[in-house]
Amino acid sequence: MASVRDADTSGKQLGLRMDDASYYHIKAPSVPARPALARSIRAETAIIGGGLAGLATALSLAERGRTSVLIEARTIGAGASGRNGGMVSAGFAAPTRLLERAAGPEAARSLMRLSREAMDLIRARIDRHAIDCEPVSGVVIASWFDDGEALAAEVEEYNTRYGMRLEYWDRARLLRDFPSPRYWDGMFDPEGFHLDPFALCRGYAVAAEGMGARLFENSPATGLRRIAGGWRVTTREGEVTADRVVLCQSAYPPRLLTAVARATLPVFTYIIVTAPLTGAHAGVIRAPYAVYDNRFATGYYRLLPEGRLLWGGRISTQERPRDLAGLMRRDLALVYPQLADVTIDHAWSGRMGFARHKMPLIRELTPGLWINSCFGGHGLNTTTLGGELVAAAIADGDRRWRLLAPFAPRWVGGALGPLAAQAIYGRARLQDAARAYWHRRRARRRTTVA
Ligand SMILES: Cc1cc2nc3c(=O)[nH]c(=O)nc-3n(C[C@H](O)[C@H](O)[C@H](O)COP(=O)(O)OP(=O)(O)OC[C@H]3O[C@@H](n4cnc5c(N)ncnc54)[C@H](O)[C@@H]3O)c2cc1C
């Protein structure tokens, strides 16, 4: 039986429901709350949303000597940014073949390069601002399918076309550190890394404030209006008038702008964290890298500094299924039967915003109104990229954001959108399971014949 510990006082202090605080929120040191916005203020740029997208925008503006006011509905990092898997890797939620098809090979290469530069920028900021977010290098992509040739070709393609430094790992190499009976072979990405994302949010917030950004918590924006010479954002008790506004609210209500709400699909995904692994459990996973597999419905994990295992996966229209810990434990046991009886200490869900094409929405919607949102399940590097593109455009007239021009906001299907997403996910899970079954059967036959 899963024994899931409730969020303790630190979760409550962060304004999160008892069942809504992640492991990161619970273990974080308590810090004084920032004020709520309760008066009328002026800003060059108003940013709505205190996840990594909003914080990265504030920090990139500050680094260019530009000031901003950021308002967050709850507390900094309360959304996906402070409760995710913590894996930082190149690329976007959309596959590279979609980038090439929609934007062309040249633009796809530029976008991939920018996504990797954002990873360098995160590392540089961690060092520059002494952000204590426990970064660890190395991400492994484990293959669920017996198709080594295709995987080796993929490694070659990523390296030659996008300048990555992936290594092909055969089965023996992969299983030495990650002994799952489900895995065949894999790729190792030495440039990828993993970290505590809530600590990164807090680090970005403090760094931006240190350079002049003003941050307000518990201040949901309830209205957005164009006024002479700019925009007015209203909150319950205050307002910001600004030359421009950057929308970074992901898939949360209220609907400030119909065009954005219509183009944003909310999707939920889940994580568990075990108790510190001891005895036989402790020796199962033998390397400190983060791992995800190449199913559409991927499962991912990483060891945490206390010897706990973080396991994540699934996407759903349901914010919190009844037996979240049990559901996730079954997924973990499918990959590692050796860990089927570990104690689960924490279980939580997170809300992601997806655009229809799975690429982020980064653009000027109308003069002075920017969006930097919809990073889907691949937001750690891309939110920093989005912050850079928007800030460089505002401060220097930089036009690199136009590389994302082909990825415009498109209707995501209204009330039927989440159901369609759930159906696509369900079908992909079945396809992956069938393909893996045939590969295992074929391998068994080969062994019998031999
Ligand atoms: C469980 C989970 C695991 C994930 N794992 C990974 C991973 O390992 N690697 C990776 O790259 N990506 C991962 N992701 C995706 C990544 O976390 C997101 O893409 C990224 O954090 C999105 O950042 P954001 O700032 O756009 O959204 P959020 O972090 O959700 O921030 C939006 C913020 O806006 C605030 N807000 C909303 N409306 C208003 C309003 N009206 N007024 C004021 N504030 C408002 C919200 O309260 C929230 O704090 C994961 C996501 C989840 C949920």
* 356 phi, psi to nearest 5 deg: -60, -35
Q: What is the mean pLDDT of residues 48-61?
A: 98
248 and 302, same domain (yes or no) = no
Nearest residue (CA) to ligand 1, atom 20: 379
Residue 140 or 9, more confident? 140
What is the predicted pLDDT for the residue at 19? 61
* Window from 44-48, 50-54, 149-153, 425-429 with minimum mean pLDDT: 425-429
Q: Is the pLDDT of residue 18 over 70?
A: no
What is the predicted pLDDT for the residue at 8? 40
**Is residue 241 a part of any domain in this protein?**
yes
What is the rounded distance in angstroms from the CA atom of residue 14 to the CA atom of residue 21? 8
**Is residue 25 a part of any domain in this protein?**
no
* Ligand 1 centroid – CA 52 distance (Å): 7
277 and 346, same domain (yes or no) = yes
- Enclosing domain of residue 275: 136-194+265-354+414-450
Q: Which atom of ligand 1 is nearest to the CA of 89?
A: 11
What is the predicted pLDDT for the residue at 7? 40
Q: Is the pLDDT of residue 254 over 90?
A: no
106 and 76, same domain (yes or no) = yes
* pLDDT band at residue 14 under the 50/70/90 scheme: low
Q: What is the mean pLDDT of residues 236-254?
A: 96
Question: Residue 363: which CATH number?
Answer: 3.50.50.60
Q: Is the pLDDT of residue 9 over 70?
A: no
Residue whose CB lies within 8 A of the most ligand 1 atoms, among 76, 139, 249, 381, for a mutation test: 249
54 and 130, same domain (yes or no) = yes
* Ligand 1 centroid – CA 306 distance (Å): 25
* Ligand 1 centroid – CA 83 distance (Å): 8
The tens digit of pLDDT for each residue in 187-214 reads 999 999 999 999 999 999 999 999 999 9
* Ligand 1 centroid – CA 224 distance (Å): 21
Computed over every residue of the chain, the mean pLDDT equals 93
Nearest residue (CA) to ligand 1, atom 48: 79
**Is residue 80 a part of any domain in this protein?**
yes
56 and 110, same domain (yes or no) = yes
Q: Is the pLDDT of residue 171 over 50?
A: yes
Which H or E run contains 52? helix 52-63
* pLDDT band at residue 51 under the 50/70/90 scheme: very high
Q: How many residues does the chain have?
A: 450
Q: Is the pLDDT of residue 3 over 70?
A: no
Q: Is the pLDDT of residue 123 over 70?
A: yes
Q: Which atom of ligand 1 is nearest to the CA of 348?
A: 1
Three-state SS across 425-450? HHHHHHHHHHHHHHHHHHHHHHHHHC
* pLDDT band at residue 5 under the 50/70/90 scheme: very low
86 and 187, same domain (yes or no) = no
Write the DSSP symbol of residue 33: P
69 and 100, same domain (yes or no) = yes
307 and 345, same domain (yes or no) = yes
* Ligand 1 centroid – CA 164 distance (Å): 26
What is the rounded distance in angstroms from the CA atom of residue 147 to the CA atom of residue 150? 6
What is the predicted pLDDT for the residue at 17? 58
Question: Residue 315: which CATH number?
Answer: 3.30.9.10
* Ligand 1 centroid – CA 250 distance (Å): 6
**Is residue 2 a part of any domain in this protein?**
no
What is the rounded distance in angstroms from the CA atom of residue 194 to the CA atom of residue 135? 5
Number of domains in the chain: 2
- Percent above pLDDT 70 for the chain: 96
124 and 44, same domain (yes or no) = yes
271 and 230, same domain (yes or no) = no
**Is residue 13 a part of any domain in this protein?**
no
Nearest residue (CA) to ligand 1, atom 41: 221
**Is residue 3 a part of any domain in this protein?**
no
What is the predicted pLDDT for the residue at 13? 56
**Is residue 40 a part of any domain in this protein?**
yes
* Ligand 1 centroid – CA 424 distance (Å): 22
186 and 276, same domain (yes or no) = yes
Residues with CB under 6 Å of ligand 1 are: 48-54, 71-74, 78-81, 83-87, 220-221, 248-250, 252, 254, 269, 271, 312, 350, 352, 373, 375-380, 383
* pLDDT band at residue 134 under the 50/70/90 scheme: very high
106 and 226, same domain (yes or no) = yes
Nearest residue (CA) to ligand 1, atom 9: 87
Q: Is the pLDDT of residue 4 over 80?
A: no
* pLDDT band at residue 421 under the 50/70/90 scheme: confident
* Ligand 1 centroid – CA 375 distance (Å): 8
**Is residue 447 a part of any domain in this protein?**
yes
3-state secondary structure of 257: coil
Q: Is the pLDDT of residue 445 over 80?
A: yes
What is the predicted pLDDT for the residue at 12? 53
